[in-house]
Amino acid sequence: MMNIIVCVKQVPDTAATIKLDPTGKSISQENITYVLNPFDEYAIEEALQTKEKFGGEVTLVTMGPDRAEEALRTGLAMGADKGIHITDPQLAGTDFFGTARVLAAAIKTVPHDIIFCGKVAVDDNAGQVGPQIAELLGIPQVTAATKVEIAEGGASAKVNREIEGATEVLQTSLPAVITAEKDLNQPRYPSLPGIMKAKQKPVQKMTLADLGLNPAEFGSGASKFEITSMAMPSKREGGRIIQGDLPVAVKELVKLLHEEAKVI
């Protein structure tokens, strides 16, 4: 039997049209649809497969406003057993380290043998929270896992990571934090019975006070970094077609790459 925890996040749908808000420091919340972070789906799937092999329980943990519970319900519909939702007005603007502190504090309240996270969240692409959770809990970490093999008895795991031109194989004791790469598995779709059952599965609401954390140490005022500005990508210009015989066209292409594109 294994107690498995998955940290999840609700993020803007990657298909949404993104606009900046008037401050130029954040995206506009108008007409934005939010979804479960795609990399967290791989983490949930790995947790469910681990449960199917060893037995046990899968607990999802998230931090965010009231709407973040939707991400938990998606994971519960996939097959997770219960959720923990840390929500507190003071959390708005909390940075990555603050988020890791909150999630680590919540994880400490639950027995755990292994912790899965997505490799990154697609809204910030930072990849910091999972490793920081491991450091705060004082346990090993393996990031961007493409294969996880847990030993019988659940005391250790062998984890594959893809590196340039090769596969890195690591052995780690458990508990550990393992972050999921998209090649780790194929996440299942929530079934209709799963969606119906998810509505009845328990989600525990917690605040900073419940976790014994000082609210003054969280929020934008306590952030260790500041976003000074954001900008949309510049509009791409149309391509250019070079006419003429091949030798002449190649000569012209090289000239343009050197004089205009300045890449050679």
Q: For residue range 121-134, what is the model confidence (pLDDT) as tens digits?
A: 999 889 999 999 99
Given a cut of 90, whether residue 14 has pLDDT beyond it is no
- Residues 155, 34: Cα–Cα separation, whole Å: 37
- Give which of 40, 58, 52 is closest to 4, Cα–Cα: 58
| pLDDT value at residue 244 | 85
Q: Is the peptide bond before 190 cis (omega within 30 degrees of 0)?
A: no
Given a cut of 90, whether residue 140 has pLDDT beyond it is yes
| Residue 180, SS3 per DSSP | strand
- Give which of 8, 36, 34, 12 is closest to 118, Cα–Cα: 8
- Which architecture characterizes domain 2-222 according to CATH? 3-Layer(aba) Sandwich (3.40)
pTM value is 0.87
- Domains of the chain: which residue ranges? 2-222, 238-264
| pLDDT value at residue 43 | 98
Query: Which residues are registered as beta bridge partners of 178?
Result: 116, 142
Question: How sure is the predictor about 115, in pLDDT bands with cuts at 50, 70 and 90?
Answer: very high
Question: How sure is the predictor about 225, in pLDDT bands with cuts at 50, 70 and 90?
Answer: confident
Question: How sure is the predictor about 18, in pLDDT bands with cuts at 50, 70 and 90?
Answer: confident
